Amino acid sequence: MKILNCQQNKINKKDLQGQVFVYPTETVYGLGCDPFDPELVEQIYQIKGRAENKPFLILADNLKTVEKHFYLNKKEKELARKYWPGALTILLRPKNKRTFSHLNCSDRVGVRISGSKLARDITRTSGGLLVSTSANISGKKPASSKTAIIDQFKKQNTKPDLLLDGGRLKKEAPSTIVLVEKNDVQVLRQGDIIIKNRK
């Protein structure tokens, strides 16, 4: 696994193309790749030892990119403008379901814009959208440092190709996940951002 220090090296698109990489967010380190590449997505499933019926989330670099690929109703736009960038994941309907079918989502994909400028820069560099899942083997604690990441994956046959080292991260709660049906907001996971179920 190659290691690049994010604070000392400028990350270029060629560093990320065709790679599964570990990157820092505002919560924990994430494991990501180009969400349009089924082979790379499958590699992440193998690295994590994750059941393939469990879907992955997506990071976007900005709201314009989100609106290019997903439908947002009035309430979803309201939540996005209020909490993005930040630790809120909204389950959105893709404009082309086939595009994201290999993420094993049903009719919706979890999307957020990271509150970390570095994570947004990495997402932008990679093409605007990025697979987002915590950088750990399923069932183990998410990693918040380079050492923890190396320890997690050292015995795995399939490993990430690249680690973008952003230093030790502060331990934060995971993102809050919401589903909006018309104007009803359902909280599926209460995380860093506190939102109440409401109509």
Q: Note the pLDDT tens digit of each residue in 11-67.
A: 899 999 999 999 999 888 999 999 999 999 999 999 999 888 888 899 999 999 999
Residues 6 or more apart whose CB falls under 8 angstroms from that of 194 comprise 176
Class of domain 2-189: alpha beta
SS3 of 25-44: the string is: CCCCEEEECCCCCHHHHHHH
Model confidence at 199: pLDDT above 70: no
Angstrom distance (rounded) from CA 175 to CA 83: 11
**Cβ contacts of residue 92 below 8 Å, gap of 6+?**
66, 70, 71, 72, 76, 108, 109, 110, 111
Give the residue-averaged pLDDT of 103-112: 85
The per-residue pLDDT for 102 is: 80
